[in-house]
Amino acid sequence: MDQREATRRFYDLIWPHRAAVLRTAQVLVSAVHDVHDVHDAEDLAQETMMKAFGAMDQFQPGTDAKKWLMTILRNARIDRLRTSDGAKPISLDQMPLEAAEDSTRTETEDTWENPQDILDRFSDQDIIHALQHLSEDDRWTLLLVDVEGLDQQEAARILDVPVGTIKSRTHRCRKLLRQALLPVAKDRRFIHE
């Protein structure tokens, strides 16, 4: 593929997803209030777009461009974490275990009669702040499934985990997100105790 064709395809197929790449990068690097984090998020998003441009000959027409970009973003983020100053390798023995599913209802589940209506009342900043309480894998899962609207199989392919892991993470992470937002919801009287 010549440079002109690669550029045309990039701007037609990839460029429209730049906002989703930046939004995801901002959540991943905690770009809430810290100017340094905002610049890191912008750098990560730019690196992702540049890598995508450089790999246009590998992009298969008819495939999902957003999914392809999210995979590039994830790999760029992993590369940055591996090469960052002070980064230490982590063994699998040090990784936290997935929490077992709890069949009992929690206070958040009982209180949030219509979770979507309540979530719609929070600002993006509130949601981003609450997401920072989750691990990076958990944030990735919710970003891909709930924010970017990918189905669980697509998210599993991007994160290179089984679909069952995505299903359990999604369920568990939504519960954790509700718990993180519960004090704010009570304070703003979005829910009644």
Render pLDDT for 10-30 as a digit per residue (tens, 0 to 9). Answer: 999 999 999 999 988 888 887
- Which CATH number covers residue 54? 1.10.1740.10
Tally of structural domains, the chain: 2
Long-range contacts of 24-32 (CB under 8 A, 24+ apart): 24/70, 24/73, 24/143, 24/147, 24/148, 25/73, 25/77, 26/128, 27/128, 27/131, 27/139, 27/143, 27/147, 28/77, 28/136, 28/139, 28/140, 28/143, 30/132, 32/125, 32/128, 32/129, 32/132
**32-36, 56-60, 112-116: segment of lowest average pLDDT:** 32-36
pLDDT digit string, tens, across residues 111-127: 566 666 777 788 877 88
Residue 26: give the domain boundaries: 3-83
Asked if 78 and 131 sit in the same domain, the reply is no
Asked if 70 and 132 sit in the same domain, the reply is no
Rounded Cα distance between 86 and 105, Å, is 41
Between residues 33 and 40, the one the model is more confident about: 40
Residue 142 lies in a domain: yes
Asked if 79 and 111 sit in the same domain, the reply is no
* Nearest alpha carbon to residue 171 among 143, 151, 141, 126: 141
pLDDT digit string, tens, across residues 82-117: 777 554 444 334 434 444 344 344 444 445 666 667
Residue 89 lies in a domain: no
Report residue 180's pLDDT band, with 50, 70 and 90 as the boundaries.
confident
Residue 57 lies in a domain: yes
Please give the torsion angle defined by the CA atoms of residues 27, 30, 35 and 36, in that order, rounded to the nearest 10 degrees.
Answer: -110
37, pLDDT greater than 60: yes
Asked if 76 and 8 sit in the same domain, the reply is yes
Asked if 9 and 64 sit in the same domain, the reply is yes
Average pLDDT score, the chain:
79
Q: Which of 53, 83, 113 corresponds to the end of one domain?
A: 83
Residue 99 lies in a domain: no
Residue 98 lies in a domain: no
Residues in CB range of 86: below 8 A, 6 or more apart = none
- Which CATH number covers residue 121? 1.10.10.10
pLDDT digit string, tens, across residues 122-171: 887 788 788 888 888 888 998 899 888 889 999 999 999 999 999 999 99
* Exposure b/e, 25-35, CB count within 10 A at least 16 = b: bbbbbbbeeee
Asked if 115 and 79 sit in the same domain, the reply is no
Asked if 59 and 108 sit in the same domain, the reply is no
* Helices and strands of the chain, counted as H and E runs: 10, 0
Asked if 22 and 60 sit in the same domain, the reply is yes
Asked if 9 and 78 sit in the same domain, the reply is yes
Q: At what angle do helices 35-54 and 18-28 cross, to 10 degrees?
A: 140
Mean pLDDT calculated for residue range 49-56: 93
